[in-house]
Amino acid sequence: MAEITRLIHEYLRHDKKFPHVWCPGCGIGIMLGSLIRAIDKTGYSKDDIVLVSGIGCTGRLPVYVDFNTLHTTHGRALTFATGIKLAKPRLKVIVIMGDGDAVAIGGNHFIHAARRNIDITAIIVNNSVYGMTGGQYSPTTPYGMKSTTTPYSNVEHAFNISELAVTAGAVFVGRGTVFHAKLLDSLMEKAFAKVGFSVVEIISHCHTQFGRLNRMGTAVEMMQWQRDHSVTVEKAAQMKTEELKDKFKIGVLVDRELPAYQDEYEKVRRWAKGTEKR
Amino acid sequence: MAEAQKKKDIPHIDIYRAWCKACGICVAFCPTETLARDEGGYPYVKYPEKCINCGWCEIRCPDFAITVEGKKNGKKVRDQFEKESPEKGTAAPGQ
Ligand SMILES: Cc1ncc(C[n+]2csc(CCOP(=O)(O)OP(=O)(O)O)c2C)c(N)n1
Ligand code: SF4
Ligand code: SF4
Ligand code: SF4
Ligand SMILES: [Mg+2]
């Protein structure tokens, strides 16, 4: 099995400081492993991959890997990625965002990228909180949970990122957890193979902020929580609503075909130039 | 003979202390209790013969600090990595 780590080292930027910046046991490192393995499976060369991130603990990820990488501004990763994809459609563009990045400040970009169905894969690490800035609540902080800005209790209701992506029009939506790291590999592989806007939501833990404030324990205990509160889509189909009350689904939530934006846009170009009749 | 054969088949587990952050994930989710934690919380191989080479410790390690391989597979990952990159770490975090 050591070949797994050998493969990972092929993609790490060894001139960066390791061990990486994330807290001991943070799920982002586990997800980074899945990401590298899944990208390796695509067969793209390093130069054909563009990783774009915003700001946050998750947003630091591209710093560590040897692809074309852009570390942009908080919430705007998808806008930069859209520009790259339209300028160079042959590149594989992958966006890495935190939950705050993706659906708080970047929420509007997220729904419209999905609606347009531009060929980008959005990978979202959902740790239910703003990890980097000190544990403020995010739009995915569940009702009734604490954060540094909801010290009594969060009285708002959380976005379900995957359902939002489905409704907004993404052609592929998968959800996994960092506990289920092998599932993450396969969800990412499927997302990368899809033409159009694909989303992989990764339920992760920020034990040092969210976990601490909500007495959820260590990274290990929060991963046990992920294991105990998730059910596969297949299993969920056999279960009653009542049994699914405190569970979330993992697996492929949507996989459908729709014309992708950059191809449609190319058509418009040809119509406008008169090289093709509308 | 059978004993010697068995010993040869025990997977080799390598823990790279320089990158390990003692989070305990590899130990907690090892299905065979091959691994245990020392006083500092760092993992060590307690019962090497129990390892079934499932690879979960390696896959779930957030810091790429533990590797497992069937003995016959040759070189250790760490050796290879250290040879390629004698100097690790110049960039400062939090750029
Ligand atoms: C325009 C702007 N607003 C606010 C911030 C401060 N800020 C940095 S990261 C962050 C939130 C991070 O949360 P998330 O996206 O969930 O990432 P995580 O750290 O949890 O991985 C915020 C609000 C910023 N850098 N830029
Ligand atoms: S603050 Fe939270 S999200 Fe950020 S590295 Fe630490 S555990 Fe991970
Ligand atoms: S390979 Fe599996 S059995 Fe062996 S130490 Fe790792 S988790 Fe335990
Ligand atoms: S999972 Fe990795 S970082 Fe955590 S204790 Fe094990 S080897 Fe160390
Ligand atoms: Mg977050």
Domain residue limits, chain B: 12-84
Q: Find, in chain B, the residue whose alpha carbon is nearest to that of A19.
A: B19
* Residue with CA at minimum distance from ligand 3 atom 2: B54
Q: Find, in chain A, the residue whose alpha carbon is nearest to that of B75.
A: A2
DSSP state of A253: E
C-alpha of residue A242 to centroid of ligand 2, in Å: 33
Which of A54, A83, A84 lies closest to A68, judged by CA? A84
Residues 6+ apart with CB under 8 A from A90: A48
C-alpha of residue A222 to centroid of ligand 5, in Å: 15
Residue A22 beta carbon below 6 angstroms from any ligand 1 atom: no
All residues of chain B having their beta carbon less than 8 Å from the beta carbon of residue A220 are 23-25, 28-29
* Best A1, A7, A64 residue to mutate vs chain B (most B CBs within 10 Å): A1
All residues of chain B having their beta carbon less than 8 Å from the beta carbon of residue A29 are 61-64
DSSP state of A259: -
CATH of B12-84 given 3.30.70.20, 3.30.565.10, 1.10.1270.20, 3.30.2130.10: 3.30.70.20
pLDDT of residue B1: 44
pLDDT of residue A42: 96
Among A23, A24, A181, beta carbon nearest to B59: A181
pLDDT of residue B70: 80
On the question of pLDDT at B80 being above 90, the answer is: no
All residues of chain B having their beta carbon less than 8 Å from the beta carbon of residue A181 are 59-60
Please, which pLDDT band fits residue B7 given cuts at 50, 70 and 90? low
Please, which pLDDT band fits residue B8 given cuts at 50, 70 and 90? low
Prediction ipTM score: 0.95
pLDDT of residue B6: 58
pLDDT of residue A241: 96
pTM, to two decimals: 0.93
Ranges under pLDDT 50 in chain A: 1
pLDDT of residue A145: 98
Q: Are A65 and A81 in contact (CB under 8 A)?
A: no
pLDDT of residue A3: 87
Per CATH, the number for A3-273 is 3.40.50.970
pLDDT of residue B95: 24
> What is the H or E stretch that residue A236 is in?
helix A233-236
Q: Which residue type, as a one-letter code, is found at position A37?
A: R
All residues of chain B having their beta carbon less than 8 Å from the beta carbon of residue A2 are 12, 14, 58, 67-69, 73, 76-77
Q: How many Å lie between the alpha carbon of B2 and the closest alpha carbon of chain A? A: 24
Q: How far apart are CA A160 and CA A25, in angstroms?
A: 25
Residue B20 beta carbon below 6 angstroms from any ligand 3 atom: no
Asked if A19's CB is within 8 angstroms of B91's CB, the reply is no
Q: What is the pLDDT of residues B13-54, one digit of tens each?
A: 999 999 999 999 999 999 999 999 999 999 999 999 999 999
Domain residue limits, chain A: 3-273
pLDDT of residue B2: 53
Q: How many CB pairs below 8 A link A and B? A: 114
Long-range contacts of A156-165 (CB under 8 A, 24+ apart): A158/A128, A159/A103, A159/A107, A161/A99, A161/A102, A161/A103, A161/A124, A161/A126, A161/A199, A161/A201, A162/A199, A162/A201, A162/A253, A163/A253, A164/A103, A164/A110, A164/A111, A165/A110, A165/A114, A165/A122, A165/A197, A165/A199, A165/A201, A165/A254
